[in-house]
Amino acid sequence: MPATWLVLIVLALSAIGYVLGRQRALQNAGGDSRALHSLPSYYGWHVALMALVPATGLLAVWLIAQPLLVENTIAGQLPDSAIPESSTRSLVMSDVRRVADGLDLAVSQGAMTRDDAATLRSEFTQVRERLAEVGVALGSDVNAAVLSAAQDYRSMSRVGNLMMTIAVLAIAALGFVYALSRTDRDFRARNVVEQGIRALLVAAASVAVLTTLGIVLSLIFNTLEFFKLYSAWDFFFGTTWAPSFGGGSELGVLPLLWGTFYISLIALLVAVPIGLFSAVYLSEYAPGKVRSVAKPLLEVLAGIPTIVYGLFALLTVGPLLVQIFGDDGVGIMQASTAVMTAGLVMGIMLIPFVSSLSDDIINAVPQAMRDGSYGLGATKSETVRQVILPAALPGIVGAILLAASRAIGETMIVVLGAGAAARLSMNPFDAMTTVTAKIVSQLTGDADFASAEALVAFALGMTLFVLTLGLNVFALFIVRKYREQYE
Amino acid sequence: MYDAPSLERNVDQKEIKFSARNVQVYYGDTHAIKDVTVEIEDNTVTAFIGPSGCGKSTFLRCLNRMNDTIDVCRVEGDIRLDGEDIYDKRVDPVQLRAKVGMVFQKPNPFPKSIYDNVAYGPRIHGLARSKAELDEIVETALRRGAIWDEVKDRLDAPGTGLSGGQQQRLCIARAVATAPEVLLMDEPCSALDPIATAQVEELIDELRQSYSVIIVTHSMQQAARVSQKTAFFHLGHLVEFGETGQIFTNPVDERTESYITGRIG
């Protein structure tokens, strides 16, 4: 039975459970809901949840575990002779899976009977041709070992699926009956449901945490793999970035880090003053009407996709800069793609981050601070400079560091605005590139995934992750240290 | 007990600091202050009493143009400080507020050191020519605020770390440091415990020697204790204004009597 049907049956069971649980509780109380410990719907929910949650939990675990288990067993059973010299066990296993899927398809289309599929012998039947008839293309003829492994694969999966169906339905029914049997007027269904809600929330929170953990782990393992192929010293301290897929690449991260740092610096130099000043204007000077129009307008900037900013950099800002600093002008800019182009546009992109967050933070400074300052005869700008900004400083630093994290992680603007050349240069009008842009270029294309040139992307990702993590920790530290000074 | 003749003689000697004529205040469409006329004397503590929302704080904030910071607020009428119209176009509200200091309901020290809190006003108004002079201003103000002995060893500590009563006295010292002529106090003791309240009240009585003090309070006992003149506000009207002793013992208006005896409020 497919998992979809199983889920639907369990859902139906739990819906019935809701109705029955509610009814039973009311009956037990003689139809008077005031005699119950909890509201009638809580008894219903209790039964419904008991039927639904353990069963779907088991289903989820089973769906993840079964393929892994079957795969490992079959792979272990494959005789070494079945693996050609030039191939690996995992490649043969993918053939096995393909044949098994093909047989499933053939059976479901009626091209084979179920018995045929299970007893097929490669000695007597052209498996490849018969599978091709139902639309499954195989790269080579199917040998006896692969075919029998595929047949084992199918039978194991079938047994597994059957067991899963039975187990899930049994658990659902057990939960249903148990919950229903506990339902009486004194049962504290409300508290139990509360526990269930709590568990649900904990589960949601742990999904987020576990995913992060998974991302980090996958980065770490691939990074370690990379450092087996390429020396860590050369990676961290190499000053040349010259990947070549034929081998003999130089994969020094320094030019990329420098590009990232340089572009982010220019972006922040643009975004922080403009963003902060506009935040001060919006929160302290602007009349209510201006504020109610200008703030959403500014936030629209944050909603523009970064690729659009990239186009803006490529088509507008770059050529404009070339006119001024190019060979016809100052003569220090060769092409329109440059650190300055990307930095300026990225700065514009970051303005709403800085201004919107800072505006909220400045507004959170108590009015009593302003009154105190105005009451002493301070002007608006004196009040802003000497009282409000110091009071809002931790939050503003947090906003700036958040913007810095965004700048470091930004990709599209760099790809389109800064060029692709990795170099160490002080001239902001040179083309450079960043860590993120290079991760993209290393992983797109036909590179062998096990080569140092592809795996370097994970090392770059890890470097970036550690950098932004450090920035965020630093931001947290700053905010903690200076928080709530004005309480 | 109250001795009418001697006090009247005293009053005659004092000059008028603030004189308000037919003041109207509007918050948008709300008419918050209706036709208030009052004269406030120098070297006197004047108390504004009345039920919540009667306009006493609003009127107080007219006297140093703090209402200017509220967009929808509109003030009409004539308010003169030493005979000069403070709502005249030539008057800079910022300068006015340096002359008319203000202490707020909730202690609001800045998130700075105790020293910087007090030095804030003198610094922005350029009252000190040297560090030594500034030190002296700060010390004098803290002594005036009756808090010097408690903080002299920790002037670098943040002002927000003091207790509520100390914070309020720090705010008073901060207001005093700009050398104002009038001190406005908007319920300065409402967030304080009885001991801190007593300290602040004692301080207000001392401040009377050098300033004209106007205090808004909800506590009639406090008004009776610290003030020489009392104004009773009700629904935006100034109902009665006179000697504190007379207001509390022999009010002319029956609304005043009802409020003081606790029948309205």
The residue among A289, A367, A376, A482 with the most chain B CBs within 10 A of its CB, best to mutate, is A376
- The beta-carbon neighbor of B111 closest among A288, A377, A390 is A390
pTM tops 0.90, yes or no:
no
Is the domain of A296 the same as that of A170?
no
Is the domain of A182 the same as that of A41?
yes
**Partners of residue B215 on adjacent β-strands:** B47, B185
Q: Which residue has the higher pLDDT, A348 or A477?
A: A348
Cβ under 8 Å to B: A residues 282-321: 287-288
Neighboring chain A residues of B160 at a CB cutoff of 8 Å: 485-487
Contact B177, B121 (CB under 8 A): yes
Tens-digit pLDDT profile for residues A274-317: 999 999 999 999 888 898 998 888 888 888 999 999 999 999 99
Residue whose entry in the numeric block shows the structure tokens 């009977």: A113
Is the domain of A406 the same as that of A474?
yes
Q: Is the pLDDT of residue A487 over 50?
A: no
For the record, the structure tokens of A11 come out as 């859902």
Sheet with B16-27, strands from edge to edge, namely: B30-41, B16-27, B73-81, B84-85
Amino acid sitting at position A8: L
**Is A215 part of a structural domain of the chain?**
no
The contacts of residue A30 (CB under 8 Å, 6+ apart) are: none
What proportion of chain A, given as a percentage, has pLDDT over 70?
Answer: 95
What proportion of chain A, given as a percentage, has pLDDT over 90?
Answer: 32
Q: How far is A397 from chain B (nearest CA, A)?
A: 17
**pLDDT value for A125:** 67
> Which class for B31: exposed (0-12), middle (13-18), buried (19 or more C-beta within 10 A)?
middle
**pLDDT value for A187:** 87
Decide if B66 and A372 are in contact by the 8 Å CB cutoff: no
Contact B52, B218 (CB under 8 A): yes
Tens-digit pLDDT profile for residues B129-163: 999 999 999 999 999 888 999 999 999 998 888 98
Tens-digit pLDDT profile for residues A392-409: 888 888 889 889 988 998
| CA-based nearest residue in chain B for residue A372 | B108
Give the ipTM: 0.85
CA distance linking residue B151 with residue B141, whole number of Å? 12
* B83-88 mean pLDDT: 90
Residue A348's domain is classified under what CATH number? Answer: 1.10.3720.10
For the record, the structure tokens of A312 come out as 């803006």
Tens-digit pLDDT profile for residues A108-153: 777 777 777 777 776 666 777 777 777 777 766 677 777 888 888 8
Overall domain count for chain A: 2
Q: How far is CA A120 from CA A143, A147, A437, in A?
A: 12, 8, 51
Is the domain of A295 the same as that of A167?
no
* B120: nearest Cα among B174, B76, B77, B168: B174
Tens-digit pLDDT profile for residues A196-217: 889 989 999 999 999 989 999 9
**Is A461 part of a structural domain of the chain?**
yes
CA distance linking residue B5 with residue B1, whole number of Å? 12
Decide if B124 and A376 are in contact by the 8 Å CB cutoff: yes
**Is A207 part of a structural domain of the chain?**
no
Is the domain of A48 the same as that of A130?
yes
Lowest-confidence range among A218-232, A252-266, A434-448, B59-73?
A: A434-448
The range of the structural domain enclosing residue A92 comes to 3-187
Is the domain of A178 the same as that of A243?
no
**Is A222 part of a structural domain of the chain?**
no
What proportion of chain B, given as a percentage, has pLDDT over 90?
Answer: 43
Tens-digit pLDDT profile for residues A57-78: 999 999 999 888 888 888 887 7
Neighboring chain B residues of A370 at a CB cutoff of 8 Å: 69
* A245-250 mean pLDDT: 74
pLDDT-derived band of residue B13, with 50, 70 and 90 as boundaries?
low
- The beta-carbon neighbor of B110 closest among A288, A372, A379 is A372
Contact B186, B105 (CB under 8 A): yes
CA distance linking residue A95 with residue A142, whole number of Å? 9
Say how far residue A223 (Cα) sits from the centre of its chain: 18
**pLDDT value for A152:** 84
Say how far residue A324 (Cα) sits from the centre of its chain: 41
- The beta-carbon neighbor of A375 closest among B97, B112, B158 is B97
Tens-digit pLDDT profile for residues A77-97: 777 777 776 677 777 788 788
Q: How far is B158 from chain A (nearest CA, A)?
A: 9
Q: Which residue has the higher pLDDT, A330 or B256?
A: B256
Q: Is the pLDDT of residue A103 over 90?
A: no
Q: Is the pLDDT of residue B9 over 80?
A: no
The residue ranges of every structural domain in chain B are 4-108+182-260
| CA-based nearest residue in chain B for residue A367 | B108
- The beta-carbon neighbor of A378 closest among B108, B124, B158 is B124
**Is A193 part of a structural domain of the chain?**
no
**pLDDT value for B11:** 47
Fold of B4-108+182-260: Rossmann fold (3.40.50)
Neighboring chain B residues of A382 at a CB cutoff of 8 Å: 124
**Is A111 part of a structural domain of the chain?**
yes
**pLDDT value for B265:** 55
CA-based torsion, B107, B113, B119, B125: positive or negative: negative
Neighboring chain B residues of A389 at a CB cutoff of 8 Å: none
Amino acid sitting at position A62: W
Full 3-state SS string of A358-382: HHHHHHHCCHHHHHHHHHCCCCHHH
**pLDDT value for A415:** 87
Is the domain of A301 the same as that of A450?
yes
Full 3-state SS string of B90-103: CCCHHHHHHHEEEE
Is the domain of A244 the same as that of A377?
yes
Establish how many alpha carbons lie within 13 A of residue A42's alpha carbon, considering only the half-sphere containing its beta carbon: 20
